Amino acid sequence: MKKSIYVIEYKTSESSKFFTPYSSDFGGTTEFPDPFTGNGFTASTNKSLIPEYHVEGVGQNATHVTHGSTIYAVTPSGQKTAVATFVDGAFEKTERGEKLKWFNGY
Residue-level pLDDT, tens digit, the chain, 106 residues: 468 888 888 888 888 888 999 999 999 999 988 888 999 998 877 777 888 888 877 666 777 788 899 999 988 888 888 999 888 888 888 875 555 443 333 3
Give residues with Cβ within 8 angstroms of 15, minimum separation 6: none
Task: Tell me the CA end-to-end span of the chain in Å, nearest whole number.
Answer: 29
Give residues with Cβ within 8 angstroms of 56, minimum separation 6: 17, 18, 19
Q: Could you list the residue range(s) of the whole structural domain that residue 16 is in?
A: 5-101
> What is the C-alpha separation between 11 and 80, in angstroms, rounded?
18
User: 39: exposed, middle or buried (C-beta count within 10 Å: 0-12, 13-18, 19+)?
Assistant: middle
pLDDT for 97 equals 54
> What total of structural domains would you count in the chain?
1
User: 80: exposed, middle or buried (C-beta count within 10 Å: 0-12, 13-18, 19+)?
Assistant: buried
pLDDT for 21 equals 93
- Kind of pairing, strands 18-19 and 5-9? unpaired
Domain presence at residue 106:
no
pLDDT for 22 equals 96
Domain presence at residue 42:
yes
> What is the C-alpha separation between 96 and 40, in angstroms, rounded?
32
Helices (H) and strands (E) in the chain, counts: 0, 7
Domain presence at residue 88:
yes
